[in-house]
């Protein structure tokens, strides 16, 4: 088990795509670290470059005390789960899971015992004699996960490890993975498209855009205080309201409404400054009655979120969204008012958090 440190890591593919642009990242020993970001931002490239499946164009990869930048994948002592699993079609589940142990010359009985133990924990116990061709996509994915988890390595690298599981299994596997990672204490980097997964599982996470890391933090930090408008618009199950405004004395003029300066920006936005005002729909109090500092408008859309509703208000020529508890949702065409929470709203200046 080991810390991972990336220093100025750059990857330029033949043809000129710069997939990683001088990345610096330090992942402490034992951490569960998520890489999140839109398609094409460089997540898979980063994972593959740590694993040694891609050579770095510049910078270095350090695992534990060793600079592994020039080492072959096999010499790096990391285990990776790929999006496409790479299972051996002619081996049954037991042998697939036990394969890395066979390479390490672990005795047959011991490796079968380990395969059975990990397989059972991933709900594969009744499938151990089958071959990959006789399994569903989700089952194959669990075999690939089990194979990595049965291996002792300095670090685990997972590329979308749960992407082929159905919603329920995904939740179960998520809990299982987190628990097992805790028990094993192996430094783990995982790539996901699913921000709920990253928020739920990771100790810390990085949000990437075009080969750059735009924010590193705990899930709570990234969710509550996105460092810039890119992260603010990317993170969250409903998009954050991001509205252009101007500082006017001790209030902000946003979308034609006067709103209070958020607590976190108090005294830090001089009069006349152009800003972007950010507040999550979850941090709005919705009412049919006007209130000081609220955005007022006409209800344009009401969407059912299950236990709550997302209400979209037309406020002048912009839209403002608020999450409203079940039972108190308005009707389309009603007048509505959304009052932001001052302790949760944020101010961005030139795209960066104030
Ligand atoms: N083998 C390659 N040759 C050339 N360009 C590549 C290669 N692999 C990836 N790229 C490019 O590098 C950039 C980063 O790709 P990467 O697969 O790392 O992104 P990603 O964030 O993992 O995306 P996704 O979430 O869609 O899997 C993209 O612009 C992609 O087109």
User: Hey, whose CA ends up nearest to atom 8 of ligand 1?
Assistant: 45
Task: Confirm or reject: Cβ of 192 under 6 Å from ligand 1.
Answer: no
* pLDDT digit string, tens, across residues 237-276: 888 999 999 999 889 999 999 999 999 999 999 999 999 9
Residue to mutate (ligand 1; options 9, 14, 44, 51; most atoms within 8 A of CB): 44
* pLDDT digit string, tens, across residues 149-165: 888 789 999 988 787 77
Residue to mutate (ligand 1; options 40, 82, 234; most atoms within 8 A of CB): 40
Task: Confirm or reject: Cβ of 19 under 6 Å from ligand 1.
Answer: yes
State yes or no: pLDDT of 176 exceeds 90. Answer: no
Which long-range contacts (C-beta less than 8 Å, at least 24 apart) are formed by 322-326? 322/281, 322/284, 322/285, 322/286, 323/238, 323/281, 323/282, 323/284, 323/286, 324/286
Task: Confirm or reject: Cβ of 72 under 6 Å from ligand 1.
Answer: no
Distance between Cα 211 and ligand 1 center (Å): 10
Domain edges within the chain: 4-233, 237-353
User: Hey, whose CA ends up nearest to atom 6 of ligand 1?
Assistant: 13
Residues 97 and 115 sit within 8 Å (Cβ to Cβ): yes
Which atom of ligand 1 lies at the shortest distance from residue 45's CA? Answer: 18
The CATH homologous superfamily to which domain 4-233 belongs is: P-loop containing nucleotide triphosphate hydrolases (3.40.50.300)
On average, the pLDDT of the chain sits at 92
Task: Confirm or reject: Cβ of 209 under 6 Å from ligand 1.
Answer: no
Q: Exposed, middle or buried, 4 (CB in 10 Å: 0-12/13-18/19+)?
A: buried
Burial of 265-304, coded b for 16+ CB within 10 Å and e otherwise, reads beeebeeebebbbbbbbbbbebbeeeeeebbbbebbebee
Task: Confirm or reject: Cβ of 39 under 6 Å from ligand 1.
Answer: yes
Task: Confirm or reject: Cβ of 217 under 6 Å from ligand 1.
Answer: no
Where residue 35 falls among pLDDT bands split at 50, 70, 90? very high
* pLDDT digit string, tens, across residues 227-242: 999 999 999 888 899 9
Does the CA dihedral 292-297-299-302 come out positive or negative? negative
Which long-range contacts (C-beta less than 8 Å, at least 24 apart) are formed by 115-119? 115/146, 115/150, 118/146, 118/149, 118/150, 119/93, 119/94, 119/143, 119/146
Two structure tokens written together for 77: 């002592």
Task: Confirm or reject: Cβ of 17 under 6 Å from ligand 1.
Answer: yes
Which atom of ligand 1 lies at the shortest distance from residue 208's CA? Answer: 21
For residue 134, the model assigns a pLDDT of 93
Two structure tokens written together for 35: 């890489």
* pLDDT digit string, tens, across residues 76-116: 989 888 766 679 999 999 999 999 899 889 999 999 999 99
State yes or no: pLDDT of 121 exceeds 90. Answer: no
User: Hey, whose CA ends up nearest to atom 3 of ligand 1?
Assistant: 13
Task: Confirm or reject: Cβ of 327 under 6 Å from ligand 1.
Answer: no
Task: Confirm or reject: Cβ of 13 under 6 Å from ligand 1.
Answer: yes
The maximal CA–CA distance of the chain, rounded, in angstroms, is 75
Residues 214 and 228 sit within 8 Å (Cβ to Cβ): yes
CA neighbor of 278 nearest in space, from 206, 205, 342? 342
Where residue 61 falls among pLDDT bands split at 50, 70, 90? very high
For residue 83, the model assigns a pLDDT of 66
Residues 254 and 244 sit within 8 Å (Cβ to Cβ): yes
Correct CATH for 237-353 of 2.40.50.140, 3.40.228.10, 2.60.40.10, 3.40.50.2300: 2.40.50.140
State yes or no: pLDDT of 281 exceeds 90. Answer: yes
């Amino acid at each position: 088990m080991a810390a991972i440190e990336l220093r100025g890591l750059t990857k330029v593919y033949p043809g000129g795509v710069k997939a990683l642009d001088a990345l610096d990242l330090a992942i402490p020993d034992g951490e569960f670290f998520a890489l999140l970001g839109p398609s094409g931002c460089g997540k898979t490239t980063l994972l593959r470059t740590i694993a040694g499946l891609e050579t770095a164009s510049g910078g270095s990869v350090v695992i534990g005390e060793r600079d592994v930048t020039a080492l072959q994948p096999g010499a790096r002592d990391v285990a990776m789960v790929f999006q496409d699993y790479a299972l051996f079609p002619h081996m049954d589940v037991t042998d697939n899971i036990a394969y890395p142990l066979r390479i390490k010359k672990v005795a047959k009985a011991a490796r079968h015992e380990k395969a059975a133990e990990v397989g059972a924990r991933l709900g594969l116990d009744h499938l151990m004699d089958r071959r990959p061709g006789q399994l569903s996509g989700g089952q194959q994915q669990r075999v690939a996960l089990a194979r990595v988890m049965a291996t002792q390595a300095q670090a685990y690298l997972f590329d979308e490890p749960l992407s082929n599981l159905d919603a329920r299994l995904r939740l179960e596997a998520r809990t299982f993975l987190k628990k097992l990672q805790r028990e094993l204490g192996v430094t783990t980097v995982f790539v996901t498209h699913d921000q709920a997964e990253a928020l739920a599982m990771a100790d810390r996470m990085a949000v990437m855009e075009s080969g750059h890391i735009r924010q590193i933090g705990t899930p709570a930090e990234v969710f509550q205080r996105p460092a810039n408008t890119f992260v603010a618009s990317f993170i969250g199950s409903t998009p954050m309201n991001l509205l252009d405004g101007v500082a006017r004395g001790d209030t902000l003029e946003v979308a034609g409404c006067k709103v209070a300066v958020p607590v976190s920006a108090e005294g830090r936005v001089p009069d006349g400054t152009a800003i972007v005002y950010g507040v999550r729909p979850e941090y709005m109090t919705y009412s049919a009655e006007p209130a000081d500092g609220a955005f007022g408008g006409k209800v344009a859309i009401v969407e059912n979120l299950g236990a709550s509703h997302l209400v979209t208000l037309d406020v002048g020529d912009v839209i403002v969204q608020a999450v409203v508890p079940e039972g108190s949702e308005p009707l389309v065409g009603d007048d509505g008012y959304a009052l932001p929470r001052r302790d949760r709203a944020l101010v961005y200046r030139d795209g960066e958090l104030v």
